[in-house]
Amino acid sequence: MPYDSLEDSVARGSALIGSPAQITDKLLALHAGFGNDLFGVGFEGFFFTDAATTRGHLERFFAEVVPVIRAELR
């Protein structure tokens, strides 16, 4: 098992779980480590929540995370 615990998996793995600030920090750290210019993000919530909840998560991601990433990587 590559991770010691669920918490370790969240901290070191590719899952984007946490507050907008935590997700932003993780994406910026991935960019710093790998130099990638493109992020592919999937929302698992499509399968586990209703459409309104998923839409809220998407809207929050695009309102609070994406602008910071764009500003930092310019």
In a domain? residue 7: no
- 28 within a domain of the structure (yes/no): yes
In a domain, 30, yes or no: yes
Q: Is residue 14 part of a domain?
A: no
Q: Say yes or no to pLDDT of 38 above 90.
A: no
What's the pLDDT score for residue 1? 62
Using pLDDT thresholds of 50, 70 and 90, give the confidence band for residue 31. Answer: very high
Domain range for 56 is 19-34+43-74
Judge whether residue 23 has pLDDT over 90: yes
Ramachandran assignment for 43, one of left (phi > 0), alpha (psi -120 to 50 degrees), beta (any other)? beta
Question: What is the pLDDT confidence band of residue 46, given thresholds at 50, 70 and 90?
Answer: low
Q: Measured at the alpha carbon of residue 46, what is the angle toward residues 40 and 52, in degrees to the nearest 5?
A: 115
Q: What is the mean pLDDT of residues 32-57?
A: 80
Residue 6 lies in a domain: no
The whole-model pTM stands at 0.81
